[in-house]
Amino acid sequence: MIPVLREDQRSFPPSPPTNLNDPATITAHDWTAFQRLETMQDHWNRPPWHDGHRAYYWMLTFSDVPALVKTARLCQEALTPLRMDDVPEDGLHITITKIGQPDQVDLGTIDALADQALSRIPAAFTADVHPLTASRGAVRCSVTPWSPLIDLHAALTEVNAQAGVPGGKPTSRFRPHLGVTYNNQERPTGPVAALVAPLRTLPPVNVRIASVELVELRREGRTYRWDVLYSLPLGSEATSDHLL
């Protein structure tokens, strides 16, 4: 059973779409939510995430998907007048959920998490990454369908809980997306929407989600970098050789 998503003003969009699998419903819902905003916030004004901050996360990464890299770069070039902070080609990702900070979670627990997750994560699936929309602090792509991503979030949230790590937001607040460029100042949404709108006609990029990465994520200036500690094959593609 797919976990129930709930309205929450801390999430974006605050309310989930009415259909978690229909691309038209999801992409329109993301765009409408952004159009209702009047102002974008500085993404980097996040006190816990100072330069150099580190934390363990479950993520999906896409540096080896040329079509996605090409589309992201095209979008970034079109948004150059905004002077935002572009996600590097090898930095494209979908954040699933937090595990905890290095001072909260030791490496033995990280090893145990990977072992527990290997038998709990769902099967591999495909998804479409749709240019383009935005949020309070970034320009980003919508991702469809949501259901398999929500299932993955729920499975990893349960693994986190059983391991006793701090974890991240509950699945009810999860809103899948893929960032393209981070907003670095407070600004009105109008000029952003004007540049983003023409890019919404670009075709989606189909990606295969065959693994989930357990990473140590860090902030370096105005970007995020990470070290992959484990890459776990999803579901039926799982093998015993998952330690990097």
Q: How many Cα neighbours within 13 Å face the side chain of 38?
A: 0
Query: Would you kindly state where each structural domain of the chain is located, as residue ranges?
Result: 23-236
- Residues contacting residue 40 through CB under 8 Å, at least 6 positions apart: 134, 136, 137, 183, 186, 187, 188, 189, 192
**What mean pLDDT value characterizes the chain?**
94
Contacts of 7 (CB under 8 A, 6+ apart): 14, 15, 16
What integer is the mean pLDDT of 139-160? 98
pLDDT at 173 over 70: yes
Residue 64: predicted pLDDT: 86
pLDDT band at 35 (very low <50, low <70, confident <90, very high): very high
Average pLDDT over residues 184-200: 98
pLDDT level of residue 1 (50, 70, 90 thresholds): low
Mean pLDDT for 235-239 is: 55
pLDDT at 46: 86
What is the C-alpha to C-alpha distance for residues 16 and 88, in angstroms, rounded to an integer? Answer: 28
Report whether pLDDT(3) > 90: no
Write down the CATH number for the domain with range 23-236.
3.90.1140.10
Give residue 32's pLDDT: 98
Token pair in block for residue 59: 């993520």
Spatial separation of the C-alpha atoms in residues 90 and 69, rounded to whole Å: 8
186 sits in the region (left: phi over 0; alpha: psi -120 to 50; else beta) called: beta
Q: Dihedral through CA 53, CA 111, CA 57, CA 72, nearest 10?
A: 110
Query: Which carries the bigger pLDDT value, residue 205 or residue 237?
Result: 205
